[in-house]
A and B are shown apart, each in its own frame.
Chain A
Amino acid sequence: MSRSSESSRSRRLWRSPGLGVVFALLVCLPALVPLVVIVGAAISPQAEVWAHLAQYVLPEVVANTVKLVIGVALIGGTLGTSLAWLTAMCEFPGRRFFDWALLLPLAIPAYVLAFVAVGFLDYAGPLQAWLRDIFGTSSWFPRIRSTGGTILVLSLAFYPYVYLMARSAFLTQGRRALEAAQMLGHSRQAAAWRVAIPLARPWIVAGIALIVMETLADFGAVSVFNYNTFTTAIYRAWFGMFSVSAALQLAGVLLLFVLLAFALERRSRTAAHFSSSRDLSREAPRLRLQPLARYSAVCFVALVFVLAFALPILQLLFWVFTRAMSDLDARYLGFVARSVVLSLSAAVVIVAASVLLAYILRRRPTTLTRSVIRVAMIGYAVPGTVLAVGILVPVILLNNFLQEQLRSWFGAAAPALLLQGTLLTVLIAYLARFLAVGFNPIESGLQRVTHSIDEAAAGLGVVGGALLRKVHVPLLRTSLATAATLVFVDVMKEMPITLITRPFGWDTLAVRVFEMTSEGEWERAALPAVAIVLVGLVPAAMLTRRGAHVA
């Protein structure tokens, strides 16, 4: 097999018209099917349930959801971007530690952080009890179970998505651009605001898009605050009123809003182009901060780390040692192993699919292809249980169909099929849910690889596979690692899909968390939660080491 004929064939394949969208549809199929199920249900509305929802439920949940999404996007986005700026662009004491440590909160599931925060900060919690001991009253203490408290805790839980994305942008671009801007006479602040941050915008926006979707889909954390959102309304219609169709219709409305928001965001930056001028051999030095700025930076970074990670993990460890040690047995090896196997396979599958999609979009950026991919991303905004059932039911229907075929061929001797209880189904469902998590970093990263780079390479005779291997992969390394880490840790924490699609006996760490929390035994859930953090930490540490090395 000759290399050149192979690559020219693959190039011809890429260029044939219409094929891009077919490929995109194929890769996105698992993500599109549940959406079709949801939209399909919206066609037969139940008038009576809807009248009730519209009068008593929707006004509150729409207002709450809007407040929550805007709040988390603003605070989480600001935290993530500013922390990434500090660790990627500046020099301050402890930077090397915080560079990777600020990623750790990613491994703490949001509902766990929420439970710890409420337990610690609510009226009956240790902090207010202590305040009452000293001052006699704690009534002036702000209520944690409030809109503000919910926004704050979710921001602390989700900021690492933006941090990771913005960090990758700054590392691959920022300091040289900043140097150039300063040479052109801008002050340092002006250079940051007018050059480096706008240049990192695709990454920051993609990160904020992830946390917006994560916030919309969240059920566990908002439940701890008893904060009613669109998602809690969906669950209420489903589990409280036994109206699956009303639940799916609500989910359909939610999806519509997400699509609309993304379309608006797209429109606002269609004209911009983002590319790289990165030159590894001549990286500019980090910014030296003034003493006052340096101390403020350290305090800020340390505060976020303590609130989002150190305190919660101490509380969890305390629970593990006081209440949950007796649960630790040999079975935990299996839980850890299964969690890692699922997370790793999902990371491989989803990153591969995302790379494929990103290249399809790069080679054939038609409106149709772009729309298909955009729509496939919103699985991340669908509440977990809804998506889990949305993917499971079609798989079961397929299974039933195949079973009928088998019966017609083999009669009574036909083997019993059980597609829904296989790892294949688990992975397909993860793909439906987490495609956005893999795709967003890779698509942003690919924008750094300009077509002129491709042309220059082609001029040197580097095309096809060699172009990917010699030029694209090195340039995309940080993005690929970011995508893989996010998917790995997200799958590690994922509960509803794992629960309903897992094969018999395939209990993971997240499943253990469910077993404990479903009857309110939060302290015992600390053990699997800490295990998730520990196993989730390994890739996080690896990623940032690698990132630091590259930078």
Chain B
Amino acid sequence: MLSWISMRRAGAILGVLGFAAVVAACSRPPEQLVVYSARNEQLIKPMFDRYTAETGMPVRFVTDDAGPLIERLAAEGANSPADILMTVDAGELWHAADRGLLQPTESSIIDANIPASLRDPQDRWIGLSVRARTIVYSTERVQPEELGDYAALADERWKGKLCLRTSKKVYNQSLVAMLIAEYGEEKTESIVKGWVANLATEPFSNDTLLMEAIAAGQCDVGLVNTYYFGRLLREKPQLPVKLFWADQAANGVHVNVSGAGVTAHAPHRAAARKFLEWLSQPEAQSLFAALNLEYPASPTVPADAAVLAWGDFKQSPMNVAKAGELQSVAVKLMDRAGYR
């Protein structure tokens, strides 16, 4: 009998708890911004805190991978509390916009600060920081003169000397998408097949392990996002690995963005636009990029001193939206090429 009574009591307590939770959730939305963010907390909260301190506008946020956040946004529809969706990849923003989850934000301030190639052509999202994906090489075994563009890594001469990160990572998917936009599907497939044939070892699960493999002599060249290089260099300043700016003679380095857009049913649309405008301005741009050793999206804003030390480079002028548009084509291509 005792156990039944206690079970009943537990049930009652749970019921009350649940009711309280629902009631708590039932209040009218106060004047605040709600952000669904795939950019992680330590890279984004300092921005929210600064904004709240400057404007008095509170910012609430949930972090998760972009996939679940987009599904949540889609299911919530008109009842969504979210004002802004923030991701670390243009492809995800393109996908969200493609599903009608974002709305256009026209702003002369944003247009002035962020170049057109880093914005959605229909203004549904903007890039806030630039992530460059380029070549790294061993300073002990490779002369920079031997390097060129991404396609050249498919040359016979790199046989058994190339390290790649997994094709599951969206950074490689958008890189291949960009190559498809430049060279077409057929040529890109032969490039990717060339990469796979040159691999020194199975693809790695992250960029840092890849650079450590180059340092240890497992391979000589690889592809990474520059901020991973910056982080590793901060810990191991003597690392015998350097960045090489890819494809400077032609298209330029492949870039992706970490960016944001106003949701289709944003309860605080005007406030959301103001926040994006604030993020596009020099002071915020500088901080946003520096938090993760990335490049500011605004070309007039200098990057962090540690980042500037790697030298200047030419960015690919292609609109980053292309990466999203061609992403599923790229993934299938990588499957066909046996790039795991």
Residues of A that sit less than 8 Å from B by CB: 3, 6-7, 10, 52, 56-57, 118-119, 122-124, 128-129, 143, 145-146, 223-226, 228, 232, 235-236, 238-244, 323, 348-349, 352, 385, 388-389, 392-393, 396-397, 399-400, 403, 415-424, 464-466, 468-469, 473, 496, 499-500, 502-505, 507, 511, 514-516, 518-522
User: B21 contacts which of A56, A422, A496, A511 (Cβ < 8 Å)?
Assistant: A422
Secondary structure call for the B interface? helix
Contacting pair B63 A515 (CB below 8 A): yes
Can you give 30 A-B contacts (C-beta < 8 A)?
A: A3-B1, A118-B205, A118-B209, A123-B213, A124-B209, A124-B216, A143-B202, A223-B205, A226-B168, A226-B202, A226-B203, A226-B204, A226-B205, A236-B331, A239-B170, A241-B328, A242-B95, A242-B98, A400-B79, A403-B79, A415-B27, A416-B26, A416-B81, A421-B25, A423-B21, A496-B68, A500-B69, A504-B60, A518-B40, A522-B208
Q: With A118-B205, A240-B328, A389-B68 as known contacts, state yes or no: A465 contacts B95, CB within 8 Å.
A: no
Residues of B that sit less than 8 Å from A by CB: 1-4, 7, 10, 14, 17-18, 21-22, 24-29, 34, 38, 40-43, 60-69, 71-72, 75-77, 79, 81, 88, 95, 98, 166, 168, 170, 173, 201-209, 212-213, 215-216, 218, 228, 231, 235, 292, 327-328, 331-332, 335-336, 340
Q: With A392-B72, A396-B75 as known contacts, state yes or no: A228 contacts B340, CB within 8 Å.
A: yes
**B98 partner residues in chain A, CB cutoff 8 A:** 242
User: A224 contacts which of B3, B38, B69, B205 (Cβ < 8 Å)?
Assistant: B205
| A521 nearest in chain B by CB position | B231
| B91 nearest in chain A by CB position | A242
Contacting pair B206 A514 (CB below 8 A): no
Q: With A6-B1, A123-B218, A496-B68 as known contacts, state yes or no: A416 contacts B29, CB within 8 Å.
A: yes
Q: With A242-B328, A469-B2, A505-B60 as known contacts, state yes or no: A123 contacts B22, CB within 8 Å.
A: no
User: B1 contacts which of A423, A469, A507 (Cβ < 8 Å)?
Assistant: A469
Rounded to whole angstroms, the CA-CA distance of A146 and B38 in the bound complex is 31
**B331 partner residues in chain A, CB cutoff 8 A:** 236, 240-241
| B25 nearest in chain A by CB position | A418
9 smallest beta-carbon distances between A and B, as pairs? A465-B1, A124-B216, A240-B331, A422-B21, A241-B328, A396-B75, A124-B212, A424-B18, A56-B335
* Min distance, Cβ A338 to any Cβ of chain B, angstroms: 14
Rounded to whole angstroms, the CA-CA distance of A355 and B18 in the bound complex is 22
User: B81 contacts which of A226, A418, A507 (Cβ < 8 Å)?
Assistant: A418
Contacting pair A423 B17 (CB below 8 A): yes
**A507 partner residues in chain B, CB cutoff 8 A:** 41
**A415 partner residues in chain B, CB cutoff 8 A:** 26-28
**A403 partner residues in chain B, CB cutoff 8 A:** 79
**A396 partner residues in chain B, CB cutoff 8 A:** 72, 75-76, 79
User: A419 contacts which of B25, B205, B216, B335 (Cβ < 8 Å)?
Assistant: B25
Count chain A CB atoms within 10 A of each CB in B43, B231, B328 and give the residue with the most. Answer: B328
| B228 nearest in chain A by CB position | A520
| B96 nearest in chain A by CB position | A242
Contacting pair A241 B208 (CB below 8 A): no
Contacting pair B215 A124 (CB below 8 A): yes
User: B68 contacts which of A223, A417, A500 (Cβ < 8 Å)?
Assistant: A500
User: A422 contacts which of B18, B173, B203, B208 (Cβ < 8 Å)?
Assistant: B18
**B168 partner residues in chain A, CB cutoff 8 A:** 223, 226, 232, 235-236, 240
Known: A6-B1, A124-B215, A464-B1. 7 other contacts (CB 8 A): A119-B209, A226-B168, A232-B168, A392-B72, A400-B75, A422-B22, A500-B68
